[in-house]
Amino acid sequence: MASEDDDKPRKKVAHEIGQDLSLLSVDELGQRIALLTAEIERLRAAETKKRASKDAADRFFKS
């Protein structure tokens, strides 16, 4: 029996960690670098936000 997820279109994977890069052009490598750089920035922003929440909670409970 197929699950409901089988009917949904799958998102194309833009980059897979450890993938062979020898077949990519210079432009494709640049696009992936830009994609990964944006993702790193997004992760850092989320980390900063979570750290601020954690620090606020720590201050509240130490009071």
pLDDT per position as a tens digit, 45-62:
999 999 999 999 999 988
In this prediction the pTM is 0.67
pLDDT per position as a tens digit, 20-38:
999 999 999 999 999 999 9
- Residue owning tokens 């450890």: 18
End-to-end CA distance of the chain: 56
Do 21 and 13 meet the contact criterion of CB atoms below 8 Å apart? no
